[in-house]
Amino acid sequence: MDNKDYTNEAVELLKQLISTPSVSREETDAANILADFIEKCGLPCERIGNNLLVREELDEEKPTVLLCAHIDTVKPVSTWTRDPFTPTVEGDRLYGLGSNDCGGGLVSMLQAYRCLRGKTTKYNLVYLASCEEEVSGQNGFSLALPHLPKIDVAIVGEPTGMQPAIAEKGLMVIDGIAHGKSGHAARNEGVNAIYEALDDLVWLRDHQFRKKSLLLGQTKMTVTVLNSGTQHNVVPDECRFIIDVRPNEFYQNEYLFNFLQKHMKKCELKARSFRLSSSHIPVGHPLVQRCIKMGMVPFGSPTLSDQALMPFPSFKLGPGDSARSHSADEYICISEMANAIETYVSLLANS
């Protein structure tokens, strides 16, 4: 088989996956389809929940590269102008939910693994199709992690236009609450919880963290949800809000949370999790340097991926455009998939 054959197979497989709804935590049917394809290709497939792990005998003298992409999708938005679960090819474009994020990377990586199988390279290769990536679920990459062999570096197949994203912002979601005392709005009584929260909300709006990343810019925090009150004539005794925090590589989530707590005058904060940290890989890493020699340009990505859960070096490199992700009429270009297969093979075969 040549690159064209592998690409055609990848397109047909992706069509099947698009036709099979695989919203996060509902990936079973799509995982079945992918597992069947893997087994028909004669590859060993270990199933860990809905995560699929492909690995063969490893040479202990070689470093091991993990090729990782996710099966699951977000829910389709209401503005789709076509059926998101009906794969449609128009010219070079394959339309369908999850085609870009990240079905194109998922199937292209698998085909590259097959192309490289049996060839002499500097690396052992391991392939993982993960689930629950879009919700950072406990049954996704975290469940598969203990089953992985020792990984030296991972390539994550998120849509990056086949340019290496060597840094990625993290995520921390914080719930905030300010307390007041209810009373009748017509009389001068009660303590308005909204007013209690105001100074803290303004500080959250205006504060800028000092350490700015060349790749990721500033650590950003945004109040995205605010809820308070029961009706117009009752002074609210509670004001709840949510803070979306996107740290660059200079700040750990635990540090940021403690820092925010110290600056709150009236509000109480509670972090939902500290597990989704910022990640980065040195530009001097051999695979990154190989990317540069092949004409690629490293950059920093603001979007989250399974990288946040990886305790080893990693970078994103995949077909498609991140701007198409989570949007109506999502698509991947067939030529992008063909280029991805060829690029992965060249990157890993000749490194």
DSSP codes joined into one string, 247-309:
--TT--HHHHHHHHHHH-SS-EEEES-S----EE--TTSHHHHHHHHTT---EEE-S--GGGG
Which residues are CB-contacts of 105 (< 8 A; sequence separation ≥ 6)?
Answer: 69, 156, 157, 158, 159, 318, 319, 320, 340
What is the DSSP-derived secondary structure letter of residue 116?
H
Q: Which residues pair with 217 in a beta bridge?
A: 213
Q: According to the model, what pLDDT value does residue 351 have? A: 58
| Tens digit of each residue's pLDDT (9 = 90 or more) over 91-129 | 999 999 999 999 999 999 999 999 999 888 999 999 999
Q: Going by DSSP bridges, is the β-strand pair 64-70/124-130 parallel, antiparallel, or unpaired?
A: parallel
Which residues of the chain fall below pLDDT 50?
Answer: none
